[in-house]
């Protein structure tokens, strides 16, 4: 494949260029431990608008603000005891907290699609951290893909999906976690899990006690996460979940021991040993690789729903959901 000149290895030189780009209000795709993000200055409306445009993201779907350290988070959002505990335990890392926005915060409300809350995360990836530290301001960084499509776990995925919208892609290899951050809403009395991820419900509950789900009564729909669209992360082909084996014209996304007689030309195993962490890291790349016109669909093996398996199944359900007529 020809060299893509927008993809730069994340050297100090490339980082310095990225900081200059952010200072100008421009966009930079950056590696994080979850997936690749499309970064822009969270304090500049023009940069925020550019991100919505580049992604084709609906205006009601709010963005996550990334900061270098918890102190920077506390400058823009209100932390209660639960937030302090979770930040101390899981930051830096793949956990996003939805908190009350501090009045007078430098982050404009458009970032949160007009809400009085802010979603914040301190990422653990060394390149993301270096960029945030050098830039010195909060950065909004939704996944670097067109809205509704499969999230990118490599620099090349970004280049393919956002071709004309992103001038600079910092490359640090494959994203470790492979699925987006866990999102917990702490803006009300009841903590609500808005999106499962690598930080599991079990881990969160051990730290702060019971957490409601969006479909529980306690996780009332008034707080329902905006942007949690039924159809998302979608390849072009339809998905058939919980399949023991593929039909003749289907590709197969396997997990654990593969069924006999399915050739390597139409099967990818997320983890032959049944390791959910390995499966999450491979999920999006595998969906892209099997999304080929020669198949009628992608059959997906059942995936256990514990630990990060809950995040994998959440993404697969959305990838399998009926699509809007045209996107």
Q: Which of 17, 78, 102, 115 binds ligand AMP (CB under 6 A)?
A: 115
Binding mask 42-81 for Mg ion (x = CB under 5 A): ----------------------------------------
Q: How far is CA 102 from CA 78, 113, 117, 187, 193, in A?
A: 6, 16, 9, 12, 22
Nearest approach in angstroms of CB 224 to ligand AMP is: 9
For residue 251, the minimal CB distance to ligand AMP (Å) is 26
Q: Which does 51 bind (CB under 5 to 8 A by kind): Mg ion, ligand AMP, none?
A: none
The count of other CB atoms within 10 Å of the CB of residue 260 is: 6
With beta carbons less than 8 A apart as the criterion, state whether 187 and 98 touch: yes
The answer to the question of residue 231 lying near ligand AMP (CB under 6 A) is no
User: What is the DSSP pairing of strand 250-254 with strand 297-300?
Assistant: parallel
According to the binding rule CB under 6 A, does residue 117 interact with ligand AMP?
A: yes
Long-range contacts of 143-147 (CB under 8 A, 24+ apart): 143/35, 143/36, 143/37, 143/38, 143/180, 144/29, 144/35, 144/36, 144/37, 144/38, 144/169, 145/55, 146/55, 146/56, 147/55, 147/56, 147/57, 147/58, 147/61
In terms of CB distance, is 16 or 230 closer to ligand AMP?
230
Beta bridge partners of residue 65, listed in sequence order? 120, 140
Q: Name the closest residue to ligand AMP (Cβ).
A: 227
Cα–Cα distances in Å, from 89 out to 35, 122, 158, 199? 21, 12, 31, 11
Q: Which is nearer to ligand AMP, 116 or 202 (CB)?
A: 116
Residue 102 found at the interface with ligand AMP (CB under 6 A): no
Signed CA dihedral, 256, 287, 278, 211: sign only: negative
Contact between 183 and ligand AMP by CB under 6 A: the answer reads yes
Task: Tell whether residue 123 is a contact of ligand AMP (CB under 6 A).
Answer: no
Residue position matching structure tokens 């997936």:
35
Token couple for 222: 């008034």
- Residue 145 as a binder of ligand AMP (CB under 6 A): the answer is no
Q: Which residue is nearest to Mg ion (CB)?
A: 143
The distance of closest approach from Cβ of residue 37 to Mg ion in the complex, given in angstroms and rounded to an integer, is: 9
142 touches ligand AMP by CB under 6 A: yes
Site for ligand AMP in 48-67 (CB under 6 A): 61-64
Distance CA 252, CA 265 (A): 10
- Could you give the string, one character per residue 116-155, with x where binding to Mg ion holds by CB under 5 A and - elsewhere? ---------------------------x------------
Angle at which helices 126-135 and 12-23 cross, to 10°: 50
Per-residue interface string for the shown chain with ligand AMP, residues 79-98, x marking contact by CB under 6 A:
-------------------x
Q: How far is the CB of 64 from Mg ion (least distance, A)?
A: 9
Site string for ligand AMP, 249-288 (x = CB under 6 A): ----------------------------------------
Helices vs. strands in the chain: H and E counts, helices first? 9, 16
Q: What is the 3-state secondary structure (H, E, C) of 11-22?
A: CHHHHHHHHHHH
Site for ligand AMP in 290-319 (CB under 6 A): none
Joined tokens for residue 212: 């409601």
- Which parts of this chain interact with Mg ion (CB under 5 A)? 143
Residues at the contact surface with ligand AMP, assessed by CB under 6 A: 61-64, 98, 112, 115, 117-119, 142-143, 180, 183, 185, 194-195, 225-228
């Amino acid at each position: 494949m020809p060299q893509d000149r927008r993809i730069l290895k994340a050297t100090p030189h490339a980082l310095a260029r990225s900081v200059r780009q952010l200072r100008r209000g421009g966009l930079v795709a950056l590696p994080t431990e979850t997936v690749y993000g499309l970064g822009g200055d969270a304090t500049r409306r023009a940069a925020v608008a550019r991100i919505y445009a580049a992604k084709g993201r609906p205006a009601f779907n709010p963005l996550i603000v990334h900061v270098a350290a918890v102190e920077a988070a506390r400058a823009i959002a209100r932390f209660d005891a639960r937030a302090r505990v979770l930040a101390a335990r899981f930051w830096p890392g793949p956990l996003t907290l939805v908190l009350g926005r501090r009045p007078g915060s430098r982050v404009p409300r458009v970032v949160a699609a007009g809400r009085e809350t802010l979603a914040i995360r301190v990422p653990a990836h060394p390149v993301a951290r270096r960029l945030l530290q050098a830039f010195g301001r909060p950065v909004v960084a939704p996944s670097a893909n067109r809205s509704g499509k499969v999230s990118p776990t490599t620099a090349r995925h970004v280049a393919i999906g956002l071709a004309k919208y992103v001038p600079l892609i910092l490359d640090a290899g494959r994203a470790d976690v492979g699925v987006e951050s866990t999102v917990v809403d702490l803006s009300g009395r009841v903590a609500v899990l808005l999106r499962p991820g690598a930080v599991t419900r079990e881990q969160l509950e051990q730290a702060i006690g019971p957490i409601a789900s969006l479909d529980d009564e306690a996780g009332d729909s008034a707080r329902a996460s905006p942007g949690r669209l039924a159809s998302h992360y979608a390849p072009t082909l339809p998905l058939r979940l919980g399949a023991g084996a593929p039909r003749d014209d289907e590709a197969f996304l396997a997990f654990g021991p593969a069924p006999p007689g399915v050739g390597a030309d139409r099967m990818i195993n997320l983890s032959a040993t049944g390791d959910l962490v390995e499966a999450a890291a491979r999920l999006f790349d595998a969906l892209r690789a099997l999304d080929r016109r020669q198949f009628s669909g992608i059959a997906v093996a059942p995936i256990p729903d514990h630990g990060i398996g809950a995040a994998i199944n959440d993404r697969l359900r959305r990838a399998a959901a009926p699509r809007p007529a045209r996107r």
